[in-house]
Amino acid sequence: AWNISCKPDAQLVNTMLDRAIHSLPQDAHPILHSDRGCHYRWPGWIKRVEDAGLTRSMSRKGCSPDNSACEGFFGRMKNEMFYGRSWQGVTLENFMQQIEAYMVWYRDERIKLSLGGLSPAEFRSKMKLTFSSIKCPHPHIADLKTCNQTEKYLTELETKLQDVVNASVKVELTSGTLL
């Protein structure tokens, strides 16, 4: 989920969080990573996250590699969408619509070699099917950290993930569409 605004404030991050929570499948409790912005440390934000059953993750102070995936995305967005064109005369509303369109395109259509030639949405869809075929050794244990078979379980997940990526790359190479 994302939200676009002219200022980084509580309304911006709360709207994004509400959209993210609303889009989650029932009983999903992913990790929510953020930088150290004050709006992510606000008690109201923390309560919203906890009420949704999400796990907070925050980058370490002064450690930009913690946010490298997000920073890399914003760099690609600037190179692919922003730079190389004139924005003169474009209204703020239109600019925000173009950012929205780029993000939808990036999620749904832009392939990534690191995801086996799939878009992020296609990859997530395949992973959902793959992960649902793996059974937790102890499904009654809510926190896998307390499970003594967690390492075996996570190794199986990693193997399945690599199998999907490898299979996707092979399919793309065989069909001759991978550049």
Per-residue pLDDT of the chain (179 residues; tens, 9 = 90+): 888 888 888 888 999 999 989 988 888 888 888 888 888 888 999 999 999 999 888 888 877 777 788 888 889 999 999 999 999 999 999 999 999 999 999 999 999 998 889 998 898 888 875 544 444 454 444 444 444 555 555 555 556 555 555 544 433 333 333 33
Q: How many residues does the chain have?
A: 179
Instruction: Give the integer Cα–Cα distance in Å for 120 and 112.
Output: 8
Q: Dihedral of the CA atoms 20, 26, 28, 29 (nearest 10)?
A: 70
Query: Which helix (H) or strand (E) covers residue 31, if one does?
Result: strand 31-34
Instruction: Give the integer Cα–Cα distance in Å for 17 and 49.
Output: 8
Instruction: Give the integer Cα–Cα distance in Å for 123 and 107.
Output: 10
Phi, psi at 98, each rounded to 5°: -70, -35
Instruction: Give the integer Cα–Cα distance in Å for 37 and 42.
Output: 9
> C-alpha angle with apex 16: 15 to 20, nearest 5 degrees?
115
Query: Which helix (H) or strand (E) covers residue 57, if one does?
Result: strand 55-58
Task: Find, among 86, 24, 76, the residue nearest to 55 by Cα.
Answer: 24
Instruction: Give the integer Cα–Cα distance in Å for 5 and 124.
Output: 27
